[in-house]
A = this chain, B = another copy of it.
Amino acid sequence: MASESQNWVLVVTARTPTNIAVIKYWGKRDEKLILPVNDSISVTLDPDHLCTTTTVAVSPSFDQDRMWLNGKEISLSGGRFQSCLREIRSRASDVEDKEKGIKISKEDWEKLHVHIASYNNFPTAAGLASSAAGFACFVFSLAKLMNVNEDQSKLSAIARQGSGSACRSLFGGFVKWIMGKDKNGSDSLAVQLADEEHWDDLVILVAVVSSRQKETSSTSGMRESVETSLLLQHRAKEVVPKRILQMEEAIKNRDFASFAQLTCADSNQFHAVCLDTSPPIFYMNDTSHKIISIVEKWNRSEGTPQVAYTFDAGPNAVLIARNRKVAALLLQRLLFYFPPNSDSDLNSYIHGDKSILQDAGLAGLKDVEALPPPPEIKDNIPSQKYRGDVSYFICTRPGRGPVYLSDESQALLNPETGLPK
């Protein structure tokens, strides 16, 4: 290490989005390398509303690898962190920062330790794919720090070894995770199908659903599905390959009707496989079912889909509206059934792009209370309200892929000490 002093700290900060699968990943053919049993397709969510920010630092003064998540130190000893670290380190190149007088050669990286600080701008435990954004940012920021000369798809194959769906967070817009064929996993990686500008009418509303059940982790859930579900292999081999082709077409043509039909059907089939697992896994609850039924009824009454729904390994609904006008009407419907608790104001009930409230003509709680029942239920029994069953909503849209933040003020580690700010 030909550096003038041992006191330097080199820092890189990056921001990486979450993503939501519209053709689902459920089941690994290789547990260790995280190789899936089928391709999957996702939409990247706008990092302005849902993202992970990660700062990585290297310094000869660090005596071990350390990591902080949301300000709290966590262990890096897990196999998944170690896999990503090892893969990135093995591809490291020479780094030189003349201004700071730093010179790191390829071989030095094996001896140098890193500090990593990561922060999610959304609740980590709320089932919002925090591990996808987290591992994507982990790999993306370390790759920059260590001057890894690989394209985004190659990096995605490394992020995949941290968390399968993380590979899809290396790109913005619409992303396909190709399952690949190689035993070593080298061809199991993400590619961009279209960027976030391609279909920018879409508006995404996430309903964060209150849950009283402890959920099965997706890692153990999908292991149990692979071992016990008699439907999973049929889905992976016979159903998904056709859906992947159809979904690629739907995205290419901005064909919302097909996009919505495929998205909803594939979410439901993923949950069907969970139910076919022994013991059965339930991720959706009565509130999730209610949201599906609101959307299905509305879509049916309109004759053509207005909104698609999809649910990951938890009860939260991700609702994709065909455009902003539809999103405003959707929000009205959702708030009619799921009004905020009287002690929370509307502003804290809608996160992300709050301007959707204006579009929906909702300035305050009074406007919510005055919402009429959706016309499509007119003939039915006076509708029940489900106050308290949704914790909050997030309004967002398809978004861009990872970016580096050059502004040092956004770093999570102190550039002098390499410790959390």
Contacts and interface: CB of A to CB of B under 8 A. Distances in A.
Nearest to A261: B278
A276 B272 contact: yes
A264 B278 contact: yes
B289 A231 contact: no
Contact of A272 (B264, B272, B290, B384): B272
Contact of A231 (B228, B269, B279): B269
A231 B274 CA distance: 13
A251 interface: no
A212 B239 CA distance: 34
Interface stretch (A46-54, A123-131, A183-191, A280-288): A280-288
Q: Looking at A213, A279, A290, which has the most chain B CB atoms within 10 Å of its CB?
A: A279
Interface string A206-243: 00000011000000000000001011001100110000
Contacts of A285: 286, 289
Nearest to A242: B230
Contacts of A108: none
Contact of A275 (B230, B238, B275, B290): B275
A276 B268 contact: yes
A271 interface: yes
A292 interface: yes
Interface in A16-60: none
Nearest to A290: B213
A290 B292 CA distance: 21
Interface string A233-259: 011001100000000000000000000
Contact of A235 (B231, B239, B271, B384): B231
A282 B276 CA distance: 14
Interface string A316-333: 000000000000000000
B280 A276 contact: no
Contacts of A300: 279
Contacts of A277: 268
Nearest to A381: B214
Contacts of A67: none
Contacts of A286: 213, 285-286
Nearest to A285: B286
A268 B282 CA distance: 11
A63 to B, nearest CB: 38
A365 interface: no
Contacts of A261: 278
B276 A384 contact: no
Given A231-B231, A235-B231, A278 B268 contact: yes
Interface of A: 212-213, 228, 230-231, 234-235, 238-239, 261, 264-265, 268-269, 271-273, 275-280, 282, 285-286, 289-290, 292-293, 296, 300, 384
Nearest first, the 10 A-B pairs at minimum CB distance are A272-B272, A272-B276, A272-B275, A279-B296, A268-B280, A234-B234, A286-B286, A282-B289, A230-B239, A269-B276
Given A213-B289, A265-B276, A265-B278, 19 more contacts: A213-B286, A228-B265, A230-B239, A231-B231, A231-B234, A231-B239, A234-B238, A261-B278, A264-B278, A268-B277, A268-B278, A269-B276, A271-B275, A275-B275, A279-B293, A279-B296, A280-B292, A282-B289, A285-B289
27 contacts: A213-B286, A213-B290, A228-B265, A230-B238, A230-B239, A231-B234, A231-B235, A231-B269, A231-B272, A234-B234, A265-B276, A268-B276, A268-B280, A269-B275, A269-B276, A271-B275, A272-B272, A272-B273, A279-B292, A279-B293, A279-B296, A279-B300, A280-B292, A282-B289, A285-B286, A285-B289, A286-B286
